[in-house]
Amino acid sequence: MTCTVHEFADSLLKGNQDAAWNIVMNEVGHDINRKDVLENLITKAMQYIGELWENDEITVADEHLATSTCEYILVRFDFYMKNIHRFHQIEPRKVMLLCLEKEQHDLGIKMVGQLFEEHGWNTRLLGPNLPLEEAVRFAEKWEPDVIGLSFSIWYHAELLTTYSKALEELPHKPAVIVGGRLLGNYDFSPYVSSRTTLFTSLSDLQEWIKQYSI
């Protein structure tokens, strides 16, 4: 899928929504499921775009255009999948998803939210840059079964510790999970307790969701 990933990334960088959408539909036409589209096409394309930015091969404006185009594709893809698959919510479990304070990129938690919803979960996306006190306040009121944190800046590791510890100690004892682009390259387990689960891929997360839902 490497050529397709680069083609998709090019469409995002050009802001070409129709071309990007056609690539997604072509993959779906080859019986690629939602998780594979999210993980092997969209995530890899955005990682490639991130590498281009880090190497000064594209500008910040280019990266922002690609991100906004990708957000459009994610919303459209979610709408498409919900129309062809009816997800049943019978006393659904609840998950809230957020980015640590000063973390601005929330595409990852949007994809994670889609996976949870596909398995019947009631999902709340609280977006980027959420202060801990606001996360705690919302969790105390809504009492989610799972709280997912997005973490992608390495010098926020101590902040990750603060968030995970505070959320683990909520009275209703939610499961805390963490994902982000750094987790596949570095071991951040020393920064969290054994009650917080770290995920390096959407594949691992999907298997965890299946087991949790049993």
Q: Is-contact 182 148, C-beta < 8 A?
A: no
CATH number of 94-212: 3.40.50.280
Give the model confidence (pLDDT) of 4-18 as tens digits.
999 999 999 999 999
Rounded Cα–Cα distance for residues 210 and 36 (Å): 16
Residue-level pLDDT at 1 = 63
> What CATH superfamily classification does 2-84 receive?
Methionine synthase domain (1.10.1240.10)
Rounded Cα–Cα distance for residues 179 and 62 (Å): 25
Q: Is-contact 122 95, C-beta < 8 A?
A: yes
Give the model confidence (pLDDT) of 157-188 as tens digits.
899 999 999 999 999 999 999 998 888 888 89
CA dist 9 to 41, 52, 76, 181, 214, Å?
Answer: 9, 11, 17, 17, 37
Instruction: Choose among 21, 37, 24: nearest CA to 69.
Output: 21
Residue-level pLDDT at 181 = 85
pTM above 0.85, yes or no: yes
Lowest mean pLDDT of 9-13, 37-41, 99-103, 209-213, name the range: 209-213
> What is the residue extent of each domain of the chain?
2-84, 94-212
Give the model confidence (pLDDT) of 28-67 as tens digits.
876 678 899 999 999 999 999 999 999 999 999 999 999 9
